[in-house]
């Protein structure tokens, strides 16, 4: 197995599914001729033709609406929103239509679409290219929201998302695209949606996180392990609906939980995780649940210093881990 990047893993997944199933097609801004602004869909139009890798106008509502219609007619569209920040014009299509088609038609219709979008900061992209938008969608039953943290998970989860018979939002951390590399299983490889993954087992504290923060947390845990601290890291992988069982199991095991997200603190996915722990694990808790997140300010700043202040990083995680370990 060769080492490939998070980005290449996503391309492999798309290529694999397009090769396997003629109903799978891609649509989005600049995904065809240009191969995507990040080059995720590079070469796919050449390989599968213009009708299966479709350049669309700059109209996100149209992209998702088209995808929904095609999905209802039996296709498996993979829509790309160039940056997650631009998904908002399509929210009506996603929340009111895609999420509710199965329910509204009493199971007669379904909507197997995937909407891919790069999200997250730390790349000096300021407010229109750095947002975390997962919490906006993580309270709408009918949707699944998936955020992979490793190249292998990216491939396996994307293939599962394309094969899923309901709408899946697939957020890719753009800083992870070329930063994270690892050996990724070749060919047909799936990772189950809705299942969290223990990325590191430990006994002293549990860190629950997702996306790029998983890698940052692993780095911090590795450093602290040199001082004898034994830290468990649970990667949510699917942030909606949450894998309650894994959260409860890990939180009960250590009794000390740190929740890490790059999103703004209040109302983030972690607020829900915290509620699950409070409801289910009280008598196993040995410390208050702690959270580390972006500050509650309107957007990721452009100034590098301010961006650093906003972003979660391994140092901040390590400091918070230590605080919890010493509690």
Partner 1 sequence: MTEIKMPKLGESVTEGTIERWLVKPGDTVEEYDPLCEVITDKVTAEVPSATAGTIGELLVGEGETVEVGVAICTLDTGNGEGTLEAEEEPSASAEETAPAPEKPEAPPAQTADKPRGARISPVVMRLASENDIDLSKVNGSGFNGRITKKDILKEIEEGPGTAPAGKPVPGHAPESTQPSVMAGEEIPVTGIRAAIADKMVQSATEIPHAWLMMEVDATNLVNLRNDLKDDFKKNEGFNLTFFSFFVKAAAETLKEFPMLNSSWQGDKIVVNKDINISIAVAGDDKLYVPVIKNADELTIKGIAKQVNELANLGRQHKLTSEHMAGGTFTVNNTGAFGSVQSMGIINHPQAAILQVESIVKKPVIIDDMIAVRHMVNLCLSIDHRVLDGLVAGQFLKKVKEKIEKMSAEHTSVY
Q: Which residues contact partner 1 (rule: CB under 8 A)?
A: 255-256, 282-287, 326-327
d(CA 168, CA 194): 11
- Whether residue 301 contacts residue 122, with contact meaning beta carbons closer than 8 Å, is answered with no
Least separation in angstroms between CB 325 and partner 1: 10
| Between 166 and 232, CB nearer to partner 1 | 232
Q: Shortest approach of partner 1 to residue 108 CB, angstroms?
A: 48
Tell the smallest beta-carbon distance from residue 281 to partner 1 (Å): 9
Residue 148's alpha-carbon distances to 97, 101, 290, 307, in angstroms, are: 25, 26, 23, 23
Dist CA 200 CA 230 (whole Å): 9
DSSP 53: E
Closest to 186 (Cα-Cα) out of 56, 9, 68, 51: 9
Identity of the residue, 50 or 284, whose beta carbon is nearer to partner 1 in the bound complex: 284
Catalytic entry in 12, 16, 124, 129: 129
129 is catalytic: yes
What is the distance between the alpha carbons of residues 2 and 99, in angstroms, rounded to a whole number? 37
State the nearest-atom distance from the C-beta of 287 to partner 1, in Å.
Answer: 6
Our separate counts of H helices and E strands in the chain read 13, 14
Helix (H, G, I), strand (E, B) or coil at 260: strand
Our CB check for partner 1 shows the closer of 256 and 291 to be 256
Whole-angstrom Cα Rg for the chain: 19
Toward partner 1, which CB reaches closer, 75 or 181?
A: 181
Q: Smallest distance, Å, CB 3 to partner 1?
A: 8
Distance CA 300, CA 327 (A): 31
Least Å distance, CB 99 to partner 1, is 37
Residue 315's DSSP bridge partners are: none
Q: What is the dihedral of CA 240, 244, 246, 250, to 10 degrees?
A: 120
H or E element, residue 102:
helix 101-104
With respect to partner 1, which residue has the nearer C-beta, 47 or 327?
327
Kindly list the catalytic residues.
129
């Amino acid at each position: 197995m060769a080492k490939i990047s998070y980005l290449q893993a996503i391309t492999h997944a798309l290529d694999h599914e397009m090769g396997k199933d003629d109903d799978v097609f891609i649509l989005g801004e600049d995904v065809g001729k240009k191969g995507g602004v990040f080059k995720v869909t590079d070469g796919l139009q050449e390989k599968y033709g213009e009708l299966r890798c479709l350049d669309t106008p700059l109209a996100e509502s149209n992209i998702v609406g088209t995808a929904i219609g095609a999905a209802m007619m039996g296709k498996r569209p993979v829509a790309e929103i160039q940056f997650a920040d631009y998904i908002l014009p399509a929210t009506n299509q996603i929340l009111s239509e895609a999420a509710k088609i199965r329910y509204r038609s009493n199971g007669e219709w379904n909507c197997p679409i995937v909407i891919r979008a790069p999200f997250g900061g730390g790349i000096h992209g300021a407010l229109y290219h750095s947002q975390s938008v997962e919490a906006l969608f993580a309270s709408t039953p009918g949707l699944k929201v998936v955020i992979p943290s490793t190249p292998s998970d990216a491939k396996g989860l994307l293939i599962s998302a394309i094969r899923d018979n309901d709408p899946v939002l697939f957020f890719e951390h753009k800083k992870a695209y070329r930063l994270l590399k690892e050996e990724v299983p070749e060919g047909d490889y799936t990772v189950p949606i809705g299942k969290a993954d223990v990325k590191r087992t430990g006994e002293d504290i549990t860190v629950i996180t997702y996306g790029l923060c998983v890698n940052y947390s692993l780095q911090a845990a590795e450093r602290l392990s040199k001082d004898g601290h034994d830290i468990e890291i649970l990667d949510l992988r699917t942030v909606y609906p949450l894998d309650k069982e894994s959260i409860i199991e890990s939180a009960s095991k250590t009794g000390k939980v740190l929740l890490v997200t790059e999103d703004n603190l209040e109302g983030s996915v972690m607020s829900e995780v915290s509620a699950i722990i409070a409801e289910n694990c009280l008598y196993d808790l040995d410390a208050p649940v702690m959270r580390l997140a972006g500050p509650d300010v309107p957007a990721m700043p452009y100034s590098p210093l301010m961006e650093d202040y906003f972003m979660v990083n391994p140092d901040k995680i390590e400091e918070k881990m230590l605080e919890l370990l010493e509690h």
